[in-house]
Amino acid sequence: MLKKLTVGIITVALGASLLAGCSNDKGNADGKVTLELYNNKQESIETYKGLIKEFESQNPNIEIKMETGPETIITTGLTKNDLPDLMSIGGSPLYGELGRAGVLYDFSDTDMLKKINSTYVDMIGDLVGPEKDGVYGLPYAANAIPVIYNKTKFEELGLKVPKTWDEFIATLEKVKASGETPIYFTLKDSWTALQWYTLEANIAGKDFAEKKNAGKTTFVESHDQVADKMLTLLKYGHKDNFGVGYGDGNNAFANGESVFYLQGNWAIPAIEKANPNIKLGVFPLPATNKSDQSTLISSVDVLLAMNKSTEHKDEAMKFIKFMMDEEVSQKYIDEQKALPTIKGVLQQDPSFEGIKENLESGNIVGSPEYKYPVGMAPANIIQEFLIEKDKKVFLKKMDKEWEKISNR
């Protein structure tokens, strides 16, 4: 999960004269231009290496130097007035803050923008907000937060994909009665409590953040069922829900240690790497007992951005245009098991059949997390609640933290 970027960092960064651009000339003695690319996803390192190699073979005068790590790389770059030329980041509060700070190139008038599904363009626009016009990144790949399941175990137990909350709980009970572990949790890493946002969007409403900011609702008033259902799901975990992290959880699920896994689609490549023979399926978490299909959380997982003040704008733009090519994008989507944002690029892996209807009908919503105040760190508060199980204290704390940060 993406780390939050504080407003204070942006303020300091602007004070350091961001718009002056990077001071280091990245031209080489041999005539090559070196572009620095920041990538925030460990999972995509090998895919990027392959694409960079292909780009460099087509453009021998350009070298791409990739750095992958936490977003503090970007925040430190801001304070030192030394942003990378290119950035591959998520559609997160970090993007919103960078967009408002005016340090990213505006793609509004480029033909590349026309190639992208407008739903995802609108999502990143909401992150920047109405106070600043412009499109400061190109949505490149999307993610989703479904329920991932082991098809082999699913079929052996004679299960059917649940359409309602009661059906899902009945399914979990059946798995538990069989002696199998229903859900493999990885709550040692707080960010993996992802289904909180699916429950929130379906129960508290997609517009909760707007209502909260307008003083029309609170967590105490609208998240009672959300909290209850998170605790209910926790009952179907393993013996050490809070002692296992994301990486080990991927391996455990790949090795058949549970039937269900509450993770984003980005976990699928790691699961399949650990067990190439595993057969996976996905479906939207049925958060309510309404008969219609649950809303699926789908957000911009990767967007391409360019430093407005890069000294090598032509070369940087050449790389972005290369990445936006349909064939190149298809390679990324296929390898990363990601959802496409570019028109004409398809995700045809049969594992995704269970969320195809949501994607085609538009029954999706961006993660509510990205509308939380920057710096609130809700995952840590949710993790604490799941350990302590004190709902009243938890909901009041969520309200208090939201208001404290919003009123700064």
Average pLDDT over residues 396-403: 97
pTM of the model: 0.83
> Could you tell me the two tokens for 235?
């009952």
High-pLDDT (> 70) share of the chain, %: 91
> What is the pLDDT, as a whole number, of residue 275?
98
Apex CA 135: angle with CA 134 and CA 141, to 5°?
170
> Could you tell me the two tokens for 381?
């508060």
Q: How far apart are CA 152 and CA 147, in angstroms?
A: 15
Average pLDDT over residues 100-122: 93
Average pLDDT over residues 116-131: 89
> Could you tell me the two tokens for 15?
């004070």
Side-chain half-sphere exposure of 324, counting CA atoms within 13 A: 21
Q: Which residues contact 167 (CB under 8 A, 6 or more apart)?
A: 286
With residues binned 3-state (H G I as helix, E B as strand, rest as coil), the percentages for the chain, rounded to 5, are 50, 15, 35
Q: Where are the alpha helices (DSSP H) in 179-267?
A: 195-199, 208-213, 219-222, 224-234, 246-254
304 within 8 A of 137, measured Cβ to Cβ:
yes
373 within 8 A of 405, measured Cβ to Cβ:
yes
Residue type present at position 169: I
35 within 8 A of 122, measured Cβ to Cβ:
no
> What is the pLDDT, as a whole number, of residue 361?
85
Q: How far apart are CA 42 and CA 71, in angstroms?
A: 12
Which tens digits make up the pLDDT trace of 166-195?
999 999 999 999 999 999 999 999 999 989
Measured in degrees and rounded to the nearest 5, phi and psi for residue 17 equal 60, 60
Q: How far apart are CA 314 and CA 134, in angstroms?
A: 20
> What is the pLDDT, as a whole number, of residue 6?
39
Question: What's the Rg (C-alpha) of the chain?
Answer: 22
pLDDT band at 26 (very low <50, low <70, confident <90, very high): low
Neighbours of 188 (CB within 10 A): 16
146 within 8 A of 283, measured Cβ to Cβ:
yes
pLDDT band at 92 (very low <50, low <70, confident <90, very high): confident
Which tens digits make up the pLDDT trace of 229-273?
999 999 999 999 999 999 999 999 999 999 999 999 999 999 999
User: What domains, with CATH codes, occur in the chain?
Assistant: 7-142+300-352 (3.40.190.10), 147-297+370-406 (3.40.190.10)
Instruction: Give 75 or 226, the one with higher predicted confidence.
Output: 226
Q: Which of 121-135, 200-214, 227-241, 303-317 has the lowest mean pLDDT?
A: 121-135
Burial pattern 257-289, b for ≥16 Cβ within 10 A else e, equals: bbbbbbbbbbbbbbbbeebeebebbbbbbbbbe
pLDDT at 28 over 70: no
Q: Closest by alpha carbon to 47, among 58, 60, 37, 59? A: 37
pLDDT at 36 over 50: yes
- Please name every residue paired with 68 in a beta bridge, in sequence order, or none if there are none: 39
64 within 8 A of 58, measured Cβ to Cβ:
no
What are the helix and strand counts (H, E) for the chain?
18, 10
Cα 289 to chain centroid distance, Å, stands at 27
> What is the pLDDT, as a whole number, of residue 29?
57
Would you list the DSSP string of 57-82? HH-TTEEEEEEE--THHHHHHHHTT-
